[in-house]
Every structure is written in C-alpha cells, then in structure tokens.
A and B are shown apart, each in its own frame.
Chain A
Amino acid sequence: MLVLTRAVNEAIMIGDGIEITVVGVKGDKVRIGIRAPQSVAVHRKEVYEAIQQANVEAARTAPSDLPTLPDLSRIIPPPSAPPGGAGTKE
C-alpha cells in the first residue's frame, strides 16, 4: 500500500478525476473530502462490505425458498393492486 503523509487541507490526486482532501483531524478521527466523477461510487468500507455481502447471499435464493401464497396470506393482507407495478413510490 502506498502511504503518504498529508496535513490538513492538503490533497491527493488519484488519476485525473479523483481528489482526496484531508479536511480536518480531531483526536483519532480524520475528516476526508472526496471529489470524484459520478461514475465512481464512494462508500464507507464497512457499509460497502455489508451491502456486497448481503447481495451475494441474496443471489443464492431459489424460487422454492419463498413462502407459498396460502402461507403469505396469513401474514399480509391481499394486495389491492399488482405489487411493484409502475406506480409512484416514495
């Protein structure tokens, strides 16, 4: 891993499009500013890993794993319209 020392308000460029600035340091916490193209997703690593792991686990589901309609009707009211249609959701 490349390790660089930077002071507050100093920055690092990654390629042409990504700029990382040390915004502030307080105790053992560092505030970091990130400027990146829209096509680059920026996430906290622990959140990124949680979502990634959840996606990988979710992709293992088989249709037969899901409850059947009689089972479902006991836990949810019958939908009044086809679910997940093109309607507007918040």
Chain B
Amino acid sequence: MKITTTRFGEVEVSGESTYAFPEGILGFGDIRSFVLLDHPRGGPFRWLQAIEVPALAFVVTDPAIFFPSYRVAVRAEDVSSIRLEDIRGGFVLVILTVNRETSGITANLQGPLVFNPAGRLAKQVVLADREYTTRHPLVPVQKP
C-alpha cells in the first residue's frame, strides 16, 4: 500500500507495520490508523506516521536504549482494548519531542505507546505513576 506523507513523500508500507489505535492519540482524537516507518537516516529513531493524515507523524524510540531502568506498569484493563493478554507479546515505544531552540530531545515516559504486534493494535497508555513525566531529557547511555 502506498501512502502520502508530508515528511517522507510517497512511502510504500506493508500491512505488518500498520497499527490501529482504537482510542486514538490524545489531542488527535479521530485519527486511528498509523504505520511505523524507519528513520530515513537510520539510528534509534522511528516514525509513527498517520496513514490518512500526511502531515501527522511522531518521532518514537525504544525507551530501553535511553532509559534502561524504565518500566511500563500496566493493568490488564489498560491494554484489554488492544487485546494484549500477555504483556510479553507486546512492545513499547515512547514519543520524542525536539526543542528547536536548544536541539534538546525529551521523551514522554508518562504516555508510552504499547503495541500488540500480533493484533496490529496499539494505544497510548497514561501512567498513573508520578515518577514519570512527559519530558525526560534523553540521557546518553554511558558505555561500560
């Protein structure tokens, strides 16, 4: 399937990289279909691109790369809408924000994205845990 995007032009996407967000993403209520794209220049970044809205995309990353101790504590009812019965079958990505003035990158650890790859479903979970905020600076991982 070919989709049109503002950032990447026309992109060919396969069904296995598409995800339905049954509850949408806060702030973008009616948009439900997204696809995970690799960052054109490689590295730890990927893009969550809205399939039907060319201009809507988020930079996402695997939090384990930058926040090794980060854990997403979800209850069964948090992920029942994406039919994730066994949490080990899912994976987590977090949305990044780049501050254009400082070029600083922050990660939203309070609202992680939980994916169910088998069901092609995903959702933004809002963590009740006050330990995490929407703006954690991407702390470089030190080499051992």
The answer to whether B108 and A69 have CB atoms under 8 Å apart is no
Q: Which of B25, B60, B87 has the most CB of A within 10 A?
A: B25
Complex CA–CA separation, A47 to B134 (angstroms): 9
The answer to whether B59 and A58 have CB atoms under 8 Å apart is yes
The answer to whether A55 and B28 have CB atoms under 8 Å apart is yes
Within 8 A of A (CB), among B6-64: 7-8, 22-23, 25-28, 36, 39-47, 56-62, 64
The 8 Å CB contact of B8, one of A43, A56, A63, A89, is A63
The proximity string for A residues 17-44 relative to B, scoring 1 for CB distances below 8 Å and 0 otherwise, is 0000000000000000000001101010
Q: Helix, strand, loop or mixed for chain B's interface?
A: loop
The 8 Å CB contact of B108, one of A38, A51, A87, is A51
The 8 Å CB contact of B88, one of A48, A83, A88, is A88
The answer to whether A79 and B44 have CB atoms under 8 Å apart is yes
B140 to chain A, nearest CB (A): 4
The answer to whether B91 and A52 have CB atoms under 8 Å apart is no
Task: Tell me whether A3 is interfacial, beta carbon within 8 Å.
Answer: no
A37 to chain B, nearest CB (A): 10
Taking CB atoms, residues of chain A closer than 8 Å to B91 are: 84, 86-89
Q: Name the residue of chain A whose CB is nearest to the CB of B114.
A: A89
Complex CA–CA separation, A86 to B115 (angstroms): 10
A9 to chain B, nearest CB (A): 23
The answer to whether B100 and A65 have CB atoms under 8 Å apart is yes
Task: Tell me whether A15 is interfacial, beta carbon within 8 Å.
Answer: no
Add 5 more A-B contacts to A38-B77, A84-B36, A84-B91 (CB < 8 A).
A38-B81, A39-B81, A62-B7, A86-B117, A88-B89
